Amino acid sequence: MALLEVDDLTVQFYTEDGVVTAADELSFTVESGEKFGVVGESGAGKSVTALSLMRLIEEPGRITDGEIRFKGEDILSMSESEVRSIRGNEMAMIFQDAQTALNPVYTVGEQISEAVRHHLDYSEADARDRAVQLMDDVGIPEPDARYDDYPHQFSGGMQQRVVIATALSCDPDLLIADEPTTALDVTIEAKILDLIENLADEYDTAVQLITHDLGVIAEVCDRVMVMYAGKPVEKAPVDDLYYDPKHPYTVGLMSSIPRVGEQRDRLQTIPGTMPDLVELPSGCSFHPRCPFAEDACTRKEPPLVDHETGQAADGDTDQHVAACLEYTGDLVEGLDYQVDVDGADPNTGSATERGRDHGA
């Protein structure tokens, strides 16, 4: 049994403009101790997915369908107090914007120890010791003195460390990190990612890392799911996804990132923008932007299938699945693209080319 199993999760927001389906029959699993990445552009449904795992979707949003099983128990059918006992305890979250995640009128130490006192029944003094220890673990200098500081006295990177310490305070089994480094500078980002990786290994915590940055996923994760317009379009172990992507959207995403040390004059782009979630295009949602779209793509919605066998995804974690009609044999022309994962070393400027051709 996987640590977290999500089946056919559907989340809808009832807005004035119509019903927005932010997550559409989404299924995935996270094994214990695993680092699972979710990548996509804004509006792909990444954060909504994360929030629904903690049952934090607020009005006008609603989880309309599906099942979320954490350690075999269905989160959606739990009572509010049962969910509260899991939230921040066995399952914790790191938010993108540390400044808004922290309460400005409580000291940082207070915010870290609150979870410990609440969930683990620590005494006041023990909770303080635990919080100081955690602050030291996440690399906050002089934790004992800074325990009584307020969030505004911390820099952005230090605030994010406080959020991480809070999330780790009850030794969770699953840590959900929603764009944990997006607001930070690269030098701080490198440190925070390093920290999340090391702590996850040390505490044997599974991590679900949500980001728009393929570089961050490559560095941290074991497995990755690419989302587009509320649906997963590809799911694979990281190596397979980066070196042999199977969905045209993944390919487009990767070739639109500028890389240091490459000699391309022009970036490849994905034409157009993410569709309006109220009125999704018929068939494959990606077809208006896809360079390989055919008539069939406008009519038939592609299922998530194994790219080799064309069989529906069966939940095997090593499986490489993609939602493109190419793999169900519905395309006439097929796909034709080339991927270069150029392992150029910026320090030496040398490049080792690794490429793969995809003939039609």
Q: How many CB atoms are closer than 10 A to CB 275?
A: 17
* Side chain identity, residue 223: R
Q: Which residues pair with 237 in a beta bridge?
A: 223
Least distance from another protein to the Cβ atom of residue 211, Å: 9
Q: CA-to-CA distance for 146 and 144, rounded, in angstroms?
A: 6
Is 254 a binder of another protein (CB under 8 A)? yes
Q: Which is nearer to another protein, 6 or 169 (CB)?
A: 169
Q: CA-to-CA distance for 356 and 278, rounded, in angstroms?
A: 37
Binding pattern to another protein, positions 101-130, x when CB under 8 A? ----------------------------x-
- DSSP string covering 32-66, please? TT-EEEEE--TTSSHHHHHHHHTT---TTEEEEEE
Residue choice 25, 41, 171, 244 for contact with another protein (CB under 8 A):
41
Least distance from another protein to the Cβ atom of residue 218, Å: 5
Least distance from another protein to the Cβ atom of residue 169, Å: 15
Tokens of 119: 């969930």
Residue choice 261, 281, 288, 303 for contact with another protein (CB under 8 A):
261
Binding pattern to another protein, positions 299-338, x when CB under 8 A? ----------------------------------------
Q: Which part of the chain contacts another protein (CB under 8 A), choosing from 27-35, 83-91, 314-322, 347-355?
A: 347-355
- DSSP string covering 138-160, please? TT-SSHHHHTT--GGGS-HHHHH
Residue choice 104, 258, 329, 359 for contact with another protein (CB under 8 A):
258
Is residue 151 a contact partner of residue 100, using CB atoms and an 8 Å limit?
no
Strands 355-358 and 337-340: antiparallel
Least distance from another protein to the Cβ atom of residue 188, Å: 8
Binding pattern to another protein, positions 186-225, x when CB under 8 A? xxxxxx-xx-----------------xxxxxxxx------
Least distance from another protein to the Cβ atom of residue 101, Å: 19
Strand segments, DSSP code E, in 192-316 are: 206-211, 223-228, 231-237, 305-306
Q: How many residues bind another protein (CB under 8 A)?
A: 64
Q: Which is nearer to another protein, 59 or 186 (CB)?
A: 186
| Angular region, 102: left φ>0, alpha ψ -120 to 50, beta rest | beta
Q: Which part of the chain contacts another protein (CB under 8 A), choosing from 72-80, 298-306, 316-324, 339-347?
A: 339-347
| Angular region, 60: left φ>0, alpha ψ -120 to 50, beta rest | alpha
Binding to another protein, residues 129-188 (CB under 8 A)? 129, 132-133, 135-136, 141-145, 155-158, 185-188
Tokens of 259: 């890389």
Is residue 193 a contact partner of residue 159, using CB atoms and an 8 Å limit?
no
Q: Which is nearer to another protein, 35 or 119 (CB)?
A: 35
Q: Which is nearer to another protein, 19 or 344 (CB)?
A: 344
Q: Which is nearer to another protein, 135 or 297 (CB)?
A: 135
Element (H or E) spanning 2, and its range?
Answer: none
Q: Which is nearer to another protein, 107 or 328 (CB)?
A: 107
Least distance from another protein to the Cβ atom of residue 259, Å: 6
Q: Which is nearer to another protein, 261 or 303 (CB)?
A: 261
Helices (H), 59-151: 80-86, 98-101, 108-120, 124-137, 143-146
* Side chain identity, residue 298: T
Using CB under 8 A as the criterion, which residues of the chain lie in contact with another protein when the complex forms?
41-42, 129, 132-133, 135-136, 141-145, 155-158, 185-191, 193-194, 212-219, 238-239, 242, 252-254, 256-262, 264-271, 273-274, 341-343, 345-349
